């Protein structure tokens, strides 16, 4: 629904403003100055270091009214409001924290100079870099809004499940109007509407501009967003006009003014912001003689200064208060502002304003004068930071307001009492193997998850998250066991009610069944995995997804999860390019383990057997939730059934560090000539290849299970770096070299992922390394044919070993050539990497 282009709250419903306007304005002006000075100074030290002036300039009032009257901080007793601040408005947050005495001049001087000596300030909100300050990383456009929605929903979940009462506070999210073009910004708003998240407020800073120019030059972004949010079940509050417009609207008995305001496109509104009162008179009020008459008592200067809603504390406060009191729906505040407000010729409302980092002398003086900063002409060239004396009315007011609201913000809490991990007996059955039974690692994982959910200490803290794939992974048993979370329970009798595993929704349900949204599921994962910090409760998320639609689909959210210091398990199901049969090019994942490399806090494992998986999960729980390390585990699970062997003695350490010896040569007493590395389901192919080599070629081979190339690689790099930095010390030895000891001969590594995975550790393999992997687009077929196609089956592994031996002179070229046909390999077959 579209309403007229005026404020939603009429003048007669506007609440009394609870603060001191003139003091608040003075404080806001000082913050404006310091925020600008930070960017200008940083760019004087180093041209091109960047930073943004105009975004915060447009939203200073939106922030300040909330800081003075709305945002409750977290206290010892209560959770406070959770605020997703707009990423590139960070200078505004820093400038306020400076006045509050939380940041020093040195720190402000080190804005965007984090690697200088002293304490640096990160460009944007990064909990990883400033972990006592920033809570939510927001600067990848779109990720703030989607995280805020699922964060608010997770708060409901915590309350409904009786884990933690979050009912007293709200989630606020500042969004740029340009940012709403990101699919993640609007893609989940219907969830918030459907779930009636009245604990959630979006504030969209409608300055009508993005980086390059107008957001909707030919349209009207506020009206557009009103329909979009309204249609999704949100309470929409438009804050377009400031108090100066009230008397004009009061005279608009025929509705000409309201109609005219609604006809003007945003590109023209931008002109009104830039070209002054004369232009406004001609091009806005000049559209109708009656309008011209309405403003004949105002000078051009006065017309040029007509304040917009987002710059008027009265209007902003009215919107915040209404949003705080609104029940049954989330609220979006569409606040009209001017980008670069106060920058004058340096960029106010101009298309170049987003990139403005420098102000000329005259512009600085104008800024100073416009905002009445007590900075003399003699000092101004230096663009000094300004802080009033501690006993000034401004400083007293600033502290008093925050004291009344519980403390300073943003602030990130780090501590949470550690969890006691489950008894080791919980994992025992997975160490024993499956005997004759053929079991997939997916089945083993789901069984493990189900046992963890029953654990008396941490069972209730586990948060299983699925994007409409529970049946794919055989998780439907959990529907019955723990239920699917639904704030309103189940309003219908499920069609499968008479079956044991019926689709059970419940208010205290534990599973977050997100529907088909990996992005939304990731946002839930972040909310649950940071709850130790945001709510002081150690919830343990397990997000289980189709592995191809994880790291490559929502990689940026996983990056943000790392930045957020999220703890939890990401589980890539139906993984492996040749192990997921039938699904083909788009689904069969041979990429994700490579894509896991860049994420510094993500520890990736490709376990082959149930016992490996159990060891990894047990260790992950201990590291993340007992030792409180800010890291995540990525685990791939597969749907190929095979016998799960019992855990050999003494392999636990190797499983966790990335490699262990699984099988010695079949020929008793022989030294291995070849070493076969296998991972995931392909480990079984390596085991078969060992048999082929022994029985048909009399070659002795051992087999190694590589659970994590990433772990081996990271350890080797770390050790190499240490050795480089300590040339006169005895060199340290990477774990991979230690594990392989003085193994000689040919090494063949086969993986269901890109060859790059084993290649990454080639420098530390003490012999010729041949890598087999699944580079190229997948195909839909059965496992046997896929493995032949991608050249990762037992025959190809055996053949690669023989070829390696031939290259090293261990066998003749004739022998290896003959082996080709013996193993049924067509040397002229197409290269799957490019096929
Ligand atoms: C995913 C992503 N793409 C691009 C950018 C670069 N970027 C930073 S700010 C910005 C423009 C923002 O415009 P808007 O959302 O309207 O915010 P404003 O500064 O106008 O408040 C862009 C494109 C980014 N930070 N994230
Ligand atoms: Mg904008």
Residues 279-330: tens digit of each pLDDT: 999 999 999 999 999 999 999 999 999 999 999 999 999 999 999 999 999 9
Distance 277 CA to ligand 2 centre (A): 23
Residue 448 Cα to ligand 1 middle (Å):
43
The pair phi, psi for residue 659, each rounded to 5°, is -155, 145
CA atoms of 198 and 175, how far apart (whole Å): 18
Q: Are strands 331-336 and 512-513 parallel, antiparallel or unpaired?
A: unpaired
The confidence score (pLDDT) of residue 2 equals 86
Two structure tokens written together for 126: 């990064």
Ligand 1 nearest-atom number relative to CA 55: 19
Q: Whose CA is nearest to atom 4 of ligand 1?
A: 141
Distance of CA 182 from the midpoint of ligand 1 (Å): 10
Nearest of 99, 98, 100, 101 to residue 110 by alpha carbon: 98
Strand locations in 297-428 (E): 331-336
Question: What's residue 77's pLDDT?
Answer: 81
Residues 607 and 707 sit within 8 Å (Cβ to Cβ):
yes
- pTM recorded for the entire structure: 0.98
Closest ligand 1 atom to residue 205 Cα is 21
Q: Are 572 and 634 in contact (CB under 8 A)?
A: yes
Q: How far apart are CA 502 and CA 476, in angstroms?
A: 8
* Centroid of ligand 1 to alpha carbon of 140 (angstroms): 8
CA angle (751 as vertex; 748, 756 as ends), nearest 5: 85
Smallest Cα–Cα separation from 553: which of 565, 531, 570, 528? 570
Q: Is the Cβ–Cβ distance between 217 and 176 less than 8 Å?
A: no
Pocket of ligand 1 (CB under 6 A): 55, 58, 88, 139-141, 176-179, 205, 207, 209-211, 215, 339, 354
Do the strands 659-663 and 701-706 form a parallel or antiparallel pair, or are they unpaired? antiparallel
Nearest CA to ligand 1 atom 22: 211
Q: Nearest C-alpha to atom 12 of ligand 1 is from which residue?
A: 210
Check: CB of residue 640 under 8 Å from CB of residue 440.
yes
CA atoms of 215 and 208, how far apart (whole Å): 5
**Which residues sit opposite 237 in a β-bridge?**
333
Q: Provide the edge-to-edge strand list for the sheet that holds 701-706.
A: 659-663, 701-706, 674-678, 746-750, 768-772
What pLDDT does residue 359 have? 87
Termini Cα distance of the chain:
51
Report how far ligand 2's centroid is from the alpha carbon of 206 (Å).
6
DSSP for 124-192? S--TTTSTTT------STTHHHHHHHHHHHHHHHHHHTTS---TT--EEEEEETGGGGSHHHHTTHHHH
pLDDT < 50 regions, the chain = none
Which ligand is in closest contact with the Cα of 355?
1
Residue 794 has a CB neighbour count (10 Å cut-off) of: 23
């Amino acid at each position: 629904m579209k309403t007229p282009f005026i404020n939603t709250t009429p003048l007669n419903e506007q609440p009394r403003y609870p603060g001191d306007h003139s003091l608040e304005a003075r404080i806001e002006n000082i913050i404006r100055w310091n925020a600008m000075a930070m960017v200008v100074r940083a760019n004087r030290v180093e041209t091109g270091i960047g930073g943004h002036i105009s975004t915060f300039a447009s939203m200073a009032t939106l922030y300040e009214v909330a800081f003075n009257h709305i945002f409750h901080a977290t206290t010892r007793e209560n959770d406070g409001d959770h605020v997703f601040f707009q990423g590139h408005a960070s200078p505004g947050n820093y400038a306020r924290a400076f006045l509050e005495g939380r940041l020093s001049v040195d720190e402000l001087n080190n804005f965007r100079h984090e690697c200088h000596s002293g304490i640096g300030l990160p460009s944007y909100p990064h909990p990883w870099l400033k972990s006592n300050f920033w809570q939510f990383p927001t600067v990848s456009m779109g990720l703030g809004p989607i995280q805020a929605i699922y964060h608010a929903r997770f708060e409901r979940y915590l309350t409904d499940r009786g884990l933690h009462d979050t009912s007293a506070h709200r989630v606020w999210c500042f969004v740029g109007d340009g940012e709403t073009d990101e699919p993640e910004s609007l893609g989940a708003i219907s969830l918030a509407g459907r779930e009636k998240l009245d604990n959630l407020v979006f504030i969209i800073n409608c300055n009508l501009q993005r980086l390059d120019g107008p957001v909707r030059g030919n349209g009207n972004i506020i009206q557009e967003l009103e329909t979009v949010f309204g249609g999704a079940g949100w309470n929409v509050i438009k804050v377009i006009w400031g108090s100066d417009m009230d008397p004009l609207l009061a005279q608009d008995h025929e509705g000409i003014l309201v109609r005219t305001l609604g006809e003007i496109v945003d590109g023209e509104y931008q002109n009104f912001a830039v070209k002054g009162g004369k232009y406004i008179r001609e091009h806005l009020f000049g559209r109708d003689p009656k309008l011209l008459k309405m403003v004949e008592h105002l000078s051009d200067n006065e017309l040029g200064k007509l304040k917009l809603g987002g710059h008027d504390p009265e209007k902003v406060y009215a919107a915040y208060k209404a949003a705080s009191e609104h029940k049954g729906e989330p609220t979006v505040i569409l606040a009209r502002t001017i980008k670069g407000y106060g920058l004058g010729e340096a960029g106010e409302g101009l298309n170049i304003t987003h990139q403005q980092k420098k102000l000329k002398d005259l512009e600085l003086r104008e800024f100073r004068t416009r905002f009445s900063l007590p900075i003399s002409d003699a000092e101004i060239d230096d663009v000094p930071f300004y802080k009033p004396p501690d006993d000034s009315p401004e400083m007293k007011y600033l502290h008093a307001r925050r004291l009344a609201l519980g403390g300073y913000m943003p602030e990130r809490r780090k501590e949470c009492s550690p969890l006691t991990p489950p008894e080791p007996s919980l994992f025992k059955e997975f160490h024993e193997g499956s005997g004759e039974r053929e079991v997939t690692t997916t089945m083993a994982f789901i069984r493990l998850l189900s046992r963890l959910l029953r654990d008396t200490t941490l069972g209730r803290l586990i948060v299983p998250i699925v994007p409409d794939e529970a049946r794919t992974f055989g998780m439907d048993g959990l529907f019955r066991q723990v239920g699917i979370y639904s704030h309103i329970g189940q309003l219908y009798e499920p069609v499968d009610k008479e079956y044991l595993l019926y689709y059970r929704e419940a208010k205290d349900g534990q599973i977050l069944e997100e529907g088909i949204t990996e992005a939304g599921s990731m946002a839930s994962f972040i909310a649950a995995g940071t709850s130790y910090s945001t709510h002081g409760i150690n919830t343990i998320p397990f997000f289980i997804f189709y592995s191809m639609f994880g790291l490559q689909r929502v990689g940026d959210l996983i990056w943000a999860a790392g930045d957020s210091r999220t703890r939890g398990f990401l589980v890539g199901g139906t993984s492996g390019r040749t192990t997921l049969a039938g699904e083909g090019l788009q689904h069969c994942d041979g990429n994700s383990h490579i894509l896991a490399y860049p994420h510094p806090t993500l520890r990736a494992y490709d376990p082959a057997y149930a016992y490996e998986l159990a060891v990894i999960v047990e260790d992950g729980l201990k590291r993340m939730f007992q030792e409180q390390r800010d890291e995540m585990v990525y685990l791939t699970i597969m749907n190929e059934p095979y016998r799960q062997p019992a855990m050999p003695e003494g392999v636990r350490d190797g499983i966790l560090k990335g490699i262990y010896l699984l099988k010695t040569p079949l020929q008793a007493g022989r030294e291995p000539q070849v070493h076969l590395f296998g991972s995931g389901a392909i480990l079984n192919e390596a085991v078969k290849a060992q048999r082929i080599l022994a029985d048909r070629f009399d070659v002795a081979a051992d087999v190694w299970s590589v659970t994590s190339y990433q772990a081996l690689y990271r350890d080797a790099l770390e050790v190499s770096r240490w050795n480089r930095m300590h040339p006169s010390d005895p060199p340290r030895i990477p774990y991979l070299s230690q594990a392989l000891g003085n193994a000689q001969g040919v090494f063949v590594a086969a993986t269901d992922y890109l060859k790059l995975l084993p290649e990454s550790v080639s420098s530390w393999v003490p012999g010729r390394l041949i890598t087999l992997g699944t580079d190229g687009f997948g195909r839909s077929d059965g496992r046997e044919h896929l493995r032949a196609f991608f050249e990762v089956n037992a025959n190809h592994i055996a053949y690669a070993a023989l070829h390696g031996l031939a290259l090293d002179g261990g066998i003749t070229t004739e022998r290896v050539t003959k082996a080709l046909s013996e193993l049924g390999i067509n040397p002229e077959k197409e290269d799957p990497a490019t096929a």
